[in-house]
Amino acid sequence: MVTVRPLDSPDAEQFKAMRLLAADNAPTAIRPTRQEEFAHSIEEIAGRIRSTPTQAVFGAFAGELLVGITGVRREPLCQVKHKATIWGVFVDPSYRGRGIAQMLLAAATAHASEEWGTIQLMLCVNAENLPAKRLYASYGFRTFGVEPRAMKVGDRFYDEEHMFKQLV
């Protein structure tokens, strides 16, 4: 059985390992590169995953094993604090197709809505990433714009779709 919970400092080693796997497995979907991710110390990562009034990171666990992650951060300024951004959605390839990404999105959404009062979610997705686009569309996200050449991986450019979902 897979369960989802917020990550905290003791999860930093597993989170780092999952981010390195994501950099290797999905370099056109997940930023940054393996080298950039590797440069972060465990202390920095502990700070990046700890829940604060403006950020939270959720992990999906099969027993004690971290098999999926997603982050959510809230805009701090008054005029934009009704919005939160979903980032870093990644599921271990051996655990895909079981609804884990949906569970992670649901946990991040509940947190943004109930803890922060957020009423709108934002995210960006590589325009060529069809599984992720289907995931977000099935979860109620709609595309409102496309950034041409948003990302360059090797010598190829990729456009990014900007999506949003109204919670109320």
Residues that bind ligand COA (CB under 6 A): 26, 29-30, 89-91, 96-102, 125, 129-132, 134-135, 138
- Which of 101/121 has CB closer to ligand COA? 101
Contacts with 64 (C-beta within 8 Å, 6 or more apart), sequence order: none
Q: How is residue 146 written in tokens?
A: 């496309």
The least distance separating ligand COA from the CB of residue 28, rounded to whole angstroms, comes to 8
**How many Cα atoms sit within 13 Å of 43 on the Cβ side?**
0
Nearer to ligand COA, 81 or 83 (CB): 83
In total, the chain counts a number of residues equal to 168
- Find the shortest distance in angstroms from Cβ 38 to ligand COA: 18
Q: How far is the CB of 168 from ligand COA (least distance, A)?
A: 23
Calpha distance 32→12 (Å, rounded): 17
Q: Are 55 and 45 in contact (CB under 8 A)?
A: no
Q: Minimum Å distance from CB 78 to ligand COA?
A: 28
> Of 8, 2, 4, 31, which is closest to residue 19 (Cα–Cα)?
31
Pick between residue 3 and residue 102 the one whose CB is nearest to ligand COA: 102
Helix 12-25, helix 42-49: angle, nearest 10:
90
Kindly tell me which of 30 and 121 has the beta carbon lying closer to ligand COA: 30
